[in-house]
Structure 1
């Protein structure tokens, strides 16, 4: 199962690089323009904050060890439904604890996000195989989930915000 999770993390990182590539040549003031809501930089900041908060939760939850509950079909279905919503271009508010993302310089947020992804990779690498079906993660909409579905949620969350980035670029005429 770890191989599958690692492949998903590689795909997530590759998709992040594609987003960065799509912004090449765009002036810094456009990337931080929040005329129409969040700026592109704030979207990145939000994604990083969400992944950081998720990682911190999992790092705390893992201390329960074998006492963590097992994942079941209900958990899987709830996350599937959540991911379908995230794939869409529907809009809804972020949870309050990550709803006001800070502004950074483009290179600074890229560095912070890379550090978060490295920490997630380390967590996955060190995660015991026997706990792969344990409920280590909690999604605001999808509820408690196992580690693989946590990574899936990062993928679908990013897909969701790619729609937002495209919308922002269009509004800004870039």
Structure 2
């Protein structure tokens, strides 16, 4: 498989996870999206806003780095190792603080608006992948705040791992808010 198709396959997997979650969330009562899991905790919509902000920020960062793409380093064994370690951490029960670079997720945005944001972000990410210069697919184009620099493929895989991490959080919120009644 060539490098671009590998990135597109990773994107398709990320997008599949979004559609699976939407099918579940579309069946929920609207008011449940705004109820936080507890004091100082996020609601479902805040988690979704965080994910949308993360994806939008990642997209903007990559677009900015593309302006100087020739000066970027190629992916390395270290980047592969960091990506695998980050995946293990996101798959674990460990909870993380949100990077300071990201805005606090809004408590006001509704689910339908968030779905539209995701759709726009995902269309832009797919377009980026399709137009990304083939000769630069191995460049370290994205810098994760804690894990360092990743190639485009590693970045898309990270976005899915991050998404999956927060799906577990959404599942916990749903359990709490539905039981509250």
Shorter-chain-normalised TM-score: which range?
over 0.9
The answer to whether residue 145 in structure 2 is matched with residue 143 in structure 1 is: no
* Residue in structure 2 matching 1:127, options 124, 132, 143: 132
Equivalent residues, number = 174
How far apart in 1 are the matches of 2:93 and 2:123?
A: 28
- Give the alignment's TM-score, normalised by structure 2: 0.92
The answer to whether residue 99 in structure 2 is matched with residue 100 in structure 1 is: no
Aligned-pair distance for 1:20? 1.2
How far apart in 1 are the matches of 2:131 and 2:59?
A: 13
* Residue in structure 2 matching 1:7, options 9, 22, 26: 9
Please list every run of 5 or more consecutive structure 2 residues that lacks an aligned counterpart in the other structure.
none
Aligned-pair distance for 1:84? 0.8
Q: Which stretches of structure 1, 4 residues or more, deviate above 4 A after TM superposition?
A: none
The answer to whether residue 92 in structure 2 is matched with residue 114 in structure 1 is: no
Supply the RMSD in Å over aligned alpha carbons: 1.2
Corresponding residue of 1:165: 170
Aligned-pair distance for 1:116? 0.5
Q: Secondary structure at the match of 2:101?
A: helix
- Give the alignment's TM-score, normalised by structure 1: 0.95
Question: Where in structure 2 are the equivalents of 1:12-161 lying within 5 Å?
Answer: 12-36=14-38, 37-98=41-102, 100-102=104-106, 103-161=108-166
Q: Secondary structure at the match of 2:139?
A: coil
How far apart in 1 are the matches of 2:10 and 2:79?
A: 19
Please list every run of 5 or more consecutive structure 1 residues that lacks an aligned counterpart in the other structure.
none
